[in-house]
Amino acid sequence: MTEKIHIFDTTLRDGEQSPGASMNLDEKLQIAEVLDSMRVDIIEAGFPIASNGDFEAVKEVSKSVKNSTIAGLARASLKDIDRAWEAVQYAKSPRIHTFIATSPLHMKYKLKKTEEEVLEAIQKTVTHARNLCDNIEWSCEDGGRSELSFLYRCIELAIECGAKTINIPDTVGYTLPEEFGKIFKNVKENVPNIDKAILSTHTHNDLGLATANNVAAIKEGARQVECTINGMGERAGNSSLEEIVMTLKVKKDLMPFHTDIKTESIMKASRLVSSITGFPVQPNKAIVGANAFAHEAGIHQDGMLKHAGTYEIMTPESIGLNKSSLVLGKHSGKHAFSEKLKELGYEPGDNALMELFGRFKDLADKKKEIFEEDLIALAEDRSASYDEHIKFVSLEVNAGSVERPEASLKIEMADKIKSIKMNGNGPIDATFNAIKKLSSTDFKLKLYQVNAITAGTDAQGEVTVRLEDKDLSSQAKGSDPDIIVASAKAYINALNRLIFKKSKSIKENSSNLEIRGV
Ligand code: KIV
Ligand code: ZN
């Protein structure tokens, strides 16, 4: 039996720190359930002190998850640690993850602490955490740029105070694989009590090296890997779970390790995270991109027909991807429809199923062939409907090269139908102007992107919209065979998310004031 690499997923914490990616409680619970069922060892569910919403999410995930260990993040502060424990204590297997920066740059400018003061903080906080919980992870933030001799002292002390996992992050995605691997090698050779802890690696993708750095760390002794679904995360993101897990699976010859991950659930997790956050997966993304298993060049197609191994290093089935196939038609019944959805990982309740079935029939009227991708878009479009403060009802657009484009839009708000006609520079501009006017909003449009879900001119269009208001942003998708209707749906979905986030942030600010007794 090969040695096990523990998978620590931080989609709900570091992943949620991607600008515009915040998720509500229900969405976090859905993601946690999928991570648990795919046998992720540790789920970092959030940063409980960050807000009441984060605290509730970590607490509810702790209560609901059946197998995975649940970690809550805390800075090197007793208050942070108490709050993290308050949230994770409900888990079957709770963990407190506490961290402090150890690089000269961070200590001098961010913490304004000397080395001795940082050591003192480690001693105080790790001991405190250990008195609450017997599973403590300690991280040296900006470990990739820390001085090795100081890192050894910090790690030895954290282990002495009870940390069972020592995580070394390349916080700013700065190191090269060889350089990062050497840190692990040196730590293993120079920290006297290192055998009492598991070494963990946590990498960021600023130079596109996150997964390569994780691989290098594993080769030099890391036995826990921190990662996120689709590589979500701060700035350029984190190392992605699917890349590291599949690398370990495919490269067994050179890396004699295994993970417990059920790799057939990878696509399901990827689609869920993408649909909840509204972050599309780039088509050429390793493992989960739409083109990851597509073969365009004739010479490749010829090779594939003769032997799949000629151009495929892993099978699409191993990540839960079925070949694009014609699945249902206009005469398919509700039972076949619900069975197919179940197979794709969606199990809507009775009412939602009826609504989806109605929309499937409408789609089948417009589009001769319905593919799995169409059903996924349909199911995700519904799960993306965010508290539906505003509902799309209908849209008619006049456009072309003669008249100024005009959109006639109907939406439902607070149980009332509202309609308006607006002009614009193009049909999309006219449609968005109509939504803004009816909803009395004018948020900044930061991203507008159109993709075709399947091939053919009758394919559904999938539109992604990101809206921004000061420090809050939201991103969402919409799909329809008509790309202008898909655009309106995506805009309304993003608007609902932003309105929800704005009201949540107002509530949280006022309750945080209450907590502080203001
Ligand atoms: O990147 C980082 O340093 C982190 C720590 C909090 C582990 O995310
Ligand atoms: Zn990080």
pLDDT(340) > 90: no
Interval between CA 367 and ligand 2 midpoint (Å): 44
Question: What's the pLDDT at 142?
Answer: 98
Q: Which of 272-281, 382-391, 505-514 has the lowest mean pLDDT?
A: 505-514
CA distance 259 to 278: 29
**Quick check: CB of 106 below 6 Å from ligand 1?**
no
Report how far apart, in Å, the C-alpha atoms of 107 and of each of 101, 159, 455 are. Answer: 6, 21, 53
Interval between CA 178 and ligand 2 midpoint (Å): 20
CA distance 510 to 518: 9
Q: Which helix (H) or strand (E) holds 101?
A: strand 94-101
Q: Are 30 and 61 in contact, with CB atoms under 8 Å apart? A: no
Ligand 1: atom nearest CA of 17 is 8
Mean pLDDT along residues 343-355: 84
Extended beta strands in 282-369, E state = 326-328
Ligand 1: atom nearest CA of 14 is 8
pLDDT(241) > 60: yes
**Quick check: CB of 47 below 6 Å from ligand 1?**
no
Question: What's the pLDDT at 509?
Answer: 59
Ligand 1: atom nearest CA of 73 is 6
Q: Which of 77-91, 119-133, 354-368, 370-384 has the lowest mean pLDDT?
A: 370-384
The backbone region for 44, taken as left when phi is positive above 0, alpha when psi lies in -120 to 50, beta otherwise, is beta
Interval between CA 234 and ligand 2 midpoint (Å): 7
Question: What's the pLDDT at 348?
Answer: 85
Question: What's the pLDDT at 1?
Answer: 86
Q: Which of 63-77, 118-132, 327-341 has the lowest mean pLDDT?
A: 327-341
CA distance 264 to 259: 13
**Quick check: CB of 170 below 6 Å from ligand 1?**
no
Question: What's the pLDDT at 380?
Answer: 74
**Quick check: CB of 138 below 6 Å from ligand 1?**
no
Which of the listed residues 75, 146, 202 should we mutate to test ligand 1's pocket, taking the one with most ligand atoms within 8 A of CB?
202
Output the residue whose Cα is nearest ligand 1's atom 5: 141
Which of the listed residues 42, 99, 224, 232 should we mutate to test ligand 1's pocket, taking the one with most ligand atoms within 8 A of CB?
99
Output the residue whose Cα is nearest ligand 1's atom 2: 171
Question: What's the pLDDT at 295?
Answer: 66
**Quick check: CB of 99 below 6 Å from ligand 1?**
yes
pLDDT tens digits along 187-226: 999 999 999 999 999 999 999 999 999 999 999 999 999 9
Question: What's the pLDDT at 344?
Answer: 76
**Quick check: CB of 6 below 6 Å from ligand 1?**
no
Ligand 1: atom nearest CA of 141 is 3
pLDDT tens digits along 475-493: 888 888 899 999 999 999 8
Q: Which of 90-104, 302-316, 377-391 has the lowest mean pLDDT?
A: 377-391
With vertex at residue 497, the alpha carbon angle to CA 491 and CA 499, rounded to the nearest 5 degrees, is 100
Which ligand lies nearest the alpha carbon of 139? Answer: 1
Report how far apart, in Å, the C-alpha atoms of 326 and of each of 337, 340, 368, 372, 454 are. Answer: 13, 12, 10, 7, 11
Which of the listed residues 10, 102, 111, 139 should we mutate to test ligand 1's pocket, taking the one with most ligand atoms within 8 A of CB?
139
Closest CA to 462 of 371, 333, 351, 340: 371
Count CB atoms within 10 A of the CB of residue 329.
Answer: 12
Q: For residue 12, give every residue at least 6 positions away whose Cβ sits within 8 Å of its Cβ, in sequence order, or none.
A: 23, 28, 31, 32, 43, 44, 45, 46, 57, 61
Q: For residue 426, give every residue at least 6 positions away whose Cβ sits within 8 Å of its Cβ, in sequence order, or none.
A: 399, 405
With vertex at residue 499, the alpha carbon angle to CA 501 and CA 62, rounded to the nearest 5 degrees, is 30
The neighbouring-strand residues paired with 409 are 395, 420
**Quick check: CB of 139 below 6 Å from ligand 1?**
yes
Interval between CA 141 and ligand 1 midpoint (Å): 6
Output the residue whose Cα is nearest ligand 1's atom 8: 14
The neighbouring-strand residues paired with 226 are 8, 202
Mean pLDDT of the chain: 90
323 — pLDDT class (breaks 50, 70, 90): low
pLDDT tens digits along 148-164: 999 999 999 999 999 99
CA distance 44 to 276: 18
pLDDT tens digits along 80-129: 999 999 999 999 999 999 999 999 999 999 999 999 999 999 999 999 99
pLDDT tens digits along 41-52: 999 999 999 999
Burial of 478 (0-12, 13-18, 19+ CB in 10 A): buried
Residue with the larger pLDDT of the pair 173 and 384: 173
pLDDT tens digits along 256-293: 999 999 999 999 999 899 988 888 898 899 999 988 88
Interval between CA 187 and ligand 1 midpoint (Å): 18
Interval between CA 361 and ligand 2 midpoint (Å): 44
Mean pLDDT along residues 416-437: 97
**Quick check: CB of 141 below 6 Å from ligand 1?**
yes
416 — pLDDT class (breaks 50, 70, 90): very high
7 — pLDDT class (breaks 50, 70, 90): very high
pLDDT(383) > 60: no
Q: Are 242 and 286 in contact, with CB atoms under 8 Å apart? A: yes
**Quick check: CB of 173 below 6 Å from ligand 1?**
no
Question: What's the pLDDT at 512?
Answer: 47
Which ligand lies nearest the alpha carbon of 142? Answer: 1
Interval between CA 15 and ligand 2 midpoint (Å): 9
Q: For residue 208, give every residue at least 6 positions away whose Cβ sits within 8 Å of its Cβ, in sequence order, or none.
A: 236
Question: What's the pLDDT at 518?
Answer: 27
pLDDT(514) > 70: no
Residue with the larger pLDDT of the pair 211 and 446: 211
